[in-house]
């Protein structure tokens, strides 16, 4: 319920996007319910990849398509004070970073920043993270990790004026415009005994909104 209220009162400027839904009350509430359901599903699982895989199985191209982590090169973000605080390590600890798009077929479902501690992973895991498109949650699955969500929020601009458009994001009469990014999570992954080894910031996209709602 709180998530729906936050979405309803988010009145920032709406970013441009090509995603539109019919401008009807039922469709608007359908979109809100989808975002609320996605948020609840993410909060209830230790693996965000598993949640996205379930979506891909239900709404993707079929044929057993697996979620892939498409590496975004040239986007290095060294771990700062906040990242090291969440990982509970000092300035001298080695913190690796990768930015990926998690895709189902040709749809980008989320964009993720991931700071992780290679010293707490196996050599095989580190090799997979640097040399393959396997999602982080799949690579480290054998650690039996736990996920602790630090924050969960709709992104700025989500449902401003309920998407009546703007100079940056004009919309056709009778349609609502959705922002490209609809939800953001910040979470720490830990071993079963609570030792953190990864920090993720995940931005989920409008590709997860199924039309019609």
| Predicted confidence (pLDDT) per residue in 3-40, tens digit | 444 443 342 333 434 455 554 545 677 788 888 899 99
**Domains in the chain: how many in total?**
1
On whether residue 186 sits in a domain, the answer given is yes
**pLDDT, tens digit (0-9, with 9 covering 90-100), for 78-94:** 999 999 999 999 999 99
On whether residue 213 sits in a domain, the answer given is no
**Which CATH number characterizes residue 92's domain?**
3.40.1410.10
State the residue range of the domain holding 204. Answer: 2-208
On whether residue 23 sits in a domain, the answer given is yes
pLDDT beneath 70: ranges in the chain: 1-27, 155-176, 212-213
Crossing angle of helices 48-59/25-44, nearest 10°? Answer: 140
On whether residue 182 sits in a domain, the answer given is yes
Report pLDDT for 134. 97
């Amino acid at each position: 319920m709180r998530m729906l209220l936050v979405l309803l009162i988010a009145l920032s400027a709406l970013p441009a996007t090509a995603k539109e839904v019919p401008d009807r009350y039922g469709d608007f509430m359908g979109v809100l319910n989808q975002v609320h359901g996605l948020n609840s599903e993410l909060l209830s699982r230790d693996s965000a990849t598993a949640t996205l895989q379930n979506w891909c199985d239900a709404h993707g191209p079929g044929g057993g398509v697996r979620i892939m982590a498409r590496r975004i090169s040239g986007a290095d973000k060294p771990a700062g004070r906040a990242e090291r605080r969440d990982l509970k390590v000092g300035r001298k600890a080695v913190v690796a970073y990768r930015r990926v798009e998690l895709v189902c077929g040709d749809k980008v479902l989320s964009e993720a920043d991931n700071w992780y501690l290679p010293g707490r992973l196996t050599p095989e895991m580190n090799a997979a993270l640097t040399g393959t498109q396997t999602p982080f949650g799949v690579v480290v699955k054998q650690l039996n990790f736990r996920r602790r969500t630090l924050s969960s929020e709709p992104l700025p601009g989500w449902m401003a004026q309920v998407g009546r458009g703007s100079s940056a994001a004009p919309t056709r009469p009778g349609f609502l415009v959705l922002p490209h990014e609809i939800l953001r999570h910040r979470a720490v992954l830990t071993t079963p005994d609570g030792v953190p080894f990864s920090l993720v910031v995940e931005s989920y996209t409008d590709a997860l909104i199924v039309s019609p709602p």
